[in-house]
Every structure is written in C-alpha cells, then in structure tokens.
Copies of this chain bind each other. A is one copy, B any other.
Amino acid sequence: MSRLKAAVVGATGIAGQQFLAALAGHPLFEVTVLAASQRSAGKKYIDAIKTRDGALQWFCQEPLHPGLALLPVVDGMGFDPAGVDIVFTALESDAARELEPLYARFVPVLSTASAFRMETDVPILIPGINSDHMPLIRVMQQKRGWRGFIIPGANCTTVGLAITLAPLQQAFGIRSVLMTSLQSVSGAGRSPGVIGLDIIDNVIPHIPREEEKVEQEIRKILGGLADDQVIPASFDVSATCTRVPVLQGHTECVSVSLEQSVSVEQARNAFLQFASDYAHPDLPSAPKRLITVHDDPFRPQPRLDRDSDEGMTTHVGRIRACHALQHGISYVLVSHNTRMGAARGAVLMAEELLRRGYIEGGYA
C-alpha cells in the first residue's frame, strides 16, 4: 500500500513540530501539506520557523527532515482537504473549532486541540485504552454528514492518568481519584509559554482550566459506550495542577480508592499485565510497553525517564497503599507531554484507526 497523504495544520508551533518529527520517514503516512497561519503562508517551512533575528526555532530533539524543511507553508484555509487522506492538527482551540470541521467533511482529522473533546458524538481516544469508543465515529459521521471525522486527543495531563487508571479500573473498579500534577513548561507552548522569570526557583500552583479538563476527560475516556454517546465513568476525579521548572515530562502523584481491597503486588501486576500485547507491526509508533513499572523508589523521574521508548511509554513507580482512602493505592507516573501526550500520540491513534479500518486512505 502506498503511504497516505497527510496534512499537518499548525505546523510551526511546538506541537506541530512534534507532528513533523513523528511523521518524518513514517511508513504509513507521508506529509504532503504543511499549513499554518497566514503570517507563515508562502514561506518555505524552514524560513517560517525563523525569528526576525534569523534564529531557527526548531524545538524537537530529532533534526528537522530536509524534505520537510523546504516544503512551502500554506494557509490553513488555503489547501484542499480532499487532496490528502488525513489531517493532523495542532491548533489553538478557537482555530480548531473553525478549521477542523472544514477538513472533517472530507477526511479524518486527528487533533491535539480541546475544541471538540466534550461533544457528545465525539470520542476522546487514547491509544490502547478505549478503542471500544471507536464506533461513535460512525454516529458522528452520520449525524454531521461528514465523510471524515474529528478525533481529539486528550489533554496532555489526562493522557498518563487515563493510561494508568485503565488497568486499575479493569481489574478492580475505581471509586475515586485524587491527582496532583507537577507539569513541565513545554506544556504551555511558546506564545507566550512560561517565562523564565516566573518559573526559575518556583512552583506555579495553578494552570487555568487544566484541572476541569482532566476531571471531565478522564471520566469520558474511561466511560462506557451507549448507543450514540459515551456514558462517563461514575467515579469522581479531583486534580491539582501545578507547573514546575522542568522542560519536558509531566509527573503526577495519584491516589485511587478502588472497589475492593488490593495489595501493592496485585496493583503492580495489573500495571505490568495491562496491554502487554499492545505493540504490533501495524503500529510503528507504539512503545514496547504502554506502561513501564519501576521498582526503584526514586523513579520515575521526568528527566531520566521521559525519553525512553521515544517518549511513548507511561512510567509508574512508588506503588504503595494509601491509608487515607478506602482500598487506597498511591503511585507516581511520568508521561512525556509533547510526545505520547500530544502529536506522537495522535499519530499512534491514526495507526490504530487505520488498522481497525476507520481510516482507509484513498480519499485523496
């Protein structure tokens, strides 16, 4: 099969660049369109990401692919979505609300934006976690008259939490969840992002709208599918989201009240055995394991663990009893917020959808 033609919209920002890094040399997708705001349109990509002072603003560890560097950037409105097979978007919420439906009329749209996450006919899909919500795609297509569809990924802080709650929910049932996040500065992007003057030698104890997103999204992602919508999971989630002086990788300290008494060993096994058969040749972006369990009590640490398995595994450690909750278990997770938590996670989701026939190609 020839590779599917892919457009990346919002290609110049941090998340957009992560799409380019994730798709460079990808065996299933070929980037043929780079779109961004009007300001960048008409420039070569490499020129569109330079500052006025001539500094190249490329933020991924992987080098910029030479072929993509010279691709011309088009306006997000200025390309024919019917000319590609799939669109990956890395847009602010307002732009996503306007542009994504234009593309979804024709082709599948995999998005990192929050704009459509809470629409009843739109599932939030996380790789390996809730493929049982995929049939909702047909509802969305029928209801909206779209040939394609929109699949928003979850908020970057939601992703690691959902991945680690899934095995506990499946094995033991969940009553309630408390989570405190220590989030990295890359989650705030660059415009304006978090300035050094605010975050060096400091903690910022509030990230606007983040806690509400996590609390709602978790319950939707781990909910059950009814005829034409997701029924949110019935447990409560309470989040405290903070920003710390870390470049990449969100750390989350989680305490869960389970439906039954569970030993630390049983919880550990649930993490270890979860989705152990997930890796598959059809999923080239998949990590070796969705969850990596650490027994060293000083792990996971964001700087030491974020990049393992291309940033696509979720690290769990410090599993222990939580005496303040009934049937309580506590643990610490580290998730790479701009890889599994954003663009690369969306690419992996596209691979899953392709494998299951929701994306077929041949649109273009």
Q: Is the CB of A304 within 8 A of B202?
A: yes
Q: How far is the CA of A196 from the CA of B245 in the complex (A)?
A: 8
Whether A238 sits at the interface, judged by CB under 8 Å, is: yes
Stretch at the interface among A3-11, A110-118, A144-152, A293-301: A293-301
Whether A37 sits at the interface, judged by CB under 8 Å, is: no
Q: Is the CB of A324 within 8 A of B192?
A: no
Closest B-chain residue to A298, C-beta based? B55
Quick one: which of B56, B185, B199 contacts A296, CB cutoff 8 A? B56
Stretch at the interface among A267-275, A315-323, A348-356: A315-323
Q: How far is the CA of A182 from the CA of B237 in the complex (A)?
A: 21
Whether A99 sits at the interface, judged by CB under 8 Å, is: no
Q: Is the CB of A251 within 8 A of B203?
A: yes
Whether A59 sits at the interface, judged by CB under 8 Å, is: yes
- Which parts of A97-147 form the interface with B (CB within 8 Å)? none
Q: Is the CB of B246 within 8 A of A201?
A: yes
Whether A81 sits at the interface, judged by CB under 8 Å, is: no
Q: Which residues of B contact A245 (CB under 8 A)?
A: 196, 200-201, 244-246
Whether A240 sits at the interface, judged by CB under 8 Å, is: yes
Q: Which residues of B contact A297 (CB under 8 A)?
A: 53-55, 206, 208
Q: How far is the CA of A118 from the CA of B5 in the complex (A)?
A: 56
Return A184 CB to nearest CB of chain B, in Å.
9
Closest B-chain residue to A195, C-beta based? B193
Q: Is the CB of A325 within 8 A of B178?
A: yes
Q: Is the CB of B202 within 8 A of A324?
A: no
Q: Is the CB of B246 within 8 A of A53?
A: no
Q: Is the CB of B195 within 8 A of A301?
A: no
Known A53-B208, A195-B192, A296-B55: A301·B237 in contact at CB below 8 Å: no
Q: Which residues of B contact A246 (CB under 8 A)?
A: 200-203, 245
Q: How far is the CA of A244 from the CA of B199 in the complex (A)?
A: 12
Quick one: which of B186, B206, B255 contacts A298, CB cutoff 8 A? B206
Contact with B along A226-255 (1 / 0, CB 8 A): 000000000111101010111100010101
Quick one: which of B14, B190, B191, B197 contacts A190, CB cutoff 8 A? B197
Q: Is the CB of B206 within 8 A of A197?
A: no
Q: How far is the CA of A191 from the CA of B204 in the complex (A)?
A: 19
- Which parts of A159-195 form the interface with B (CB within 8 Å)? 176-178, 180, 182, 185-186, 190-195
Whether A362 sits at the interface, judged by CB under 8 Å, is: no
Q: Which residues of B contact A185 (CB under 8 A)?
A: 195-197, 200
Return A185 CB to nearest CB of chain B, in Å.
4
Whether A328 sits at the interface, judged by CB under 8 Å, is: yes
Return A56 CB to nearest CB of chain B, in Å.
6
- Chain A positions within 8 Å of B, measured between CB atoms, are 14, 53-56, 59, 176-178, 180, 182, 185-186, 190-206, 208, 215, 235-238, 240, 242, 244-247, 251, 253, 255, 257, 296-304, 317-318, 322-325, 328, 330, 332
Q: List 8 A-B contacts (CB under 8 A).
A: A53-B208, A59-B197, A236-B324, A238-B328, A240-B255, A240-B318, A240-B330, A240-B332
